Amino acid sequence: MIEFSNVTKYYDKDVVLKDVTFSIEKGELAYITGPSGAGKTTLLKLIYCAEVPDKGQLVVAGSDVNKIKQKEIPYLRRKVGIVFQDFRLLFNKTVYENVALALRIHYMPSKEIKDDVTAVLKEVQLSHKANIYPQHLSGGEQQRVVIARAMVSKPTVLLADEPTGNLDADTSKTIINLFREINARGTTVLIATHNHDLFHGTGRRVFFLKDNQIEKETIG
Ligand SMILES: Nc1ncnc2c1ncn2[C@@H]1O[C@H](COP(=O)(O)OP(=O)(O)OP(=O)(O)O)[C@@H](O)[C@H]1O
Ligand SMILES: [Mg+2]
């Protein structure tokens, strides 16, 4: 589903990823970890086409990102949902509207939008907060809205960057369980985190980024 072959990425002259080769299978839930500055976010941005590789090949959901045309990027992005820290909720819109916006940009009829948003809010157990503004939600609830927004367009791949960064241990568990459910329904999930507790004991593959490369792969 995601295939890196000797991918190298520079920011100006600084190499961030060098000859990175690994792949994530369809239907897998896997983790990327490594120290701060190792390149975890950069790696996810490459998958999401927010950055382009300088060398090597990267295939995401059947598309070679080096060969993809500018006009095809929105199509790829529809297949890749993101839960990124810098991709925040709009505080002047309700929970419902925050999630619906992800569909409005695709010009979907409003009846379908209503059905899909209602279903996804139910999935993250926030139906009762649909008309609330995000600033009146807890951190864990806000993160569930972010996940709902990523899921509403039914992506084949879900990327999450430190999805439990600001949350306490119990709330983190709820969020991770949500990713497990999403994965169990067939979505490929890739989670970047420096928090080893998130993958310890999960039995899932964990890729360790260090010194610009995948240093090792283990089972969490
Ligand atoms: N847009 C950018 N321009 C220049 N350098 C960047 C840019 N984004 C990241 N970097 C640099 O690339 C390196 C990798 O950054 P990245 O954000 O991918 O690391 P990370 O593993 O996600 O770190 P953290 O755990 O702190 O989130 C860092 O040295 C960072 O300073
Ligand atoms: Mg990061």
What is the tens place of the pLDDT at every residue in 60-104?
A: 999 999 999 988 888 888 899 999 877 789 999 999 999 999 898
What is the residue with the minimal CA distance to atom 3 of ligand 1?
11
> Among 145, 153, 108, which residue's Cα sits nearest to residue 123?
145
Atom from ligand 1 closest to the CA of residue 12: 4
Burial class (CB in 10 A: 0-12, 13-18, 19+), 74: exposed
pLDDT digits (tens, 9 = 90+) for 122-162: 999 999 999 999 999 999 999 999 999 999 999 999 999 99
Q: What is the CA radius of gyration of the chain?
A: 17
pLDDT, one tens digit per residue, over 15-37 is: 999 999 999 999 999 999 999 99
CB of residue 37 inside a 6 A radius of ligand 1: yes
CA of 66 to the centre of ligand 1 (A): 21
Is residue 40 within 6 Å of ligand 1 at its C-beta? yes
Region of 154 please: left (phi>0), alpha (psi -120 to 50) or beta.
Answer: left
Give me ligand 2 centre to Cα 35, in Å: 9
Put simply, whether the predicted model's pTM sits higher than 0.85 gets the answer yes
CA 183 – CA 187 distance, rounded (Å): 5
Nearest CA to ligand 1 atom 13: 37
Please give the distance, rounded to the nearest whole angstrom, from the Cα atom of residue 158 to the centre of ligand 1: 20
Give, as one character, the DSSP assignment of residue 39: S
pLDDT for the residue 88 = 85
Residue nearest to ligand 1 atom 9, measured at CA: 42
Q: Are 33 and 19 in contact (CB under 8 A)?
A: no
C-alpha distances out from residue 65 to 25, 37, 72, 156, Å: 17, 23, 10, 16
From ligand 1's centre to the CA of 40, what distance in Å? 8
User: Which domains, ranges and CATH numbers included, belong to the chain?
Assistant: 2-219 (3.40.50.300)
Residue whose Cα lies nearest atom 29 of ligand 1: it is 37
Instruction: Tell me how far the alpha carbon of residue 216 lies from the centroid of ligand 2, in angstroms.
Output: 19
What is the rounded CA–CA span in Å between residue 1 and residue 191? 15
- The Cα 106–Cα 152 span in angstroms is 12
Query: Ligand 1, atom 24: nearest CA belongs to which residue?
Result: 36
Tell which atom from ligand 1 comes closest to the C-alpha of 38. Answer: 21
- Which of 27-31, 43-47, 102-106, 186-190 is least confident? 102-106
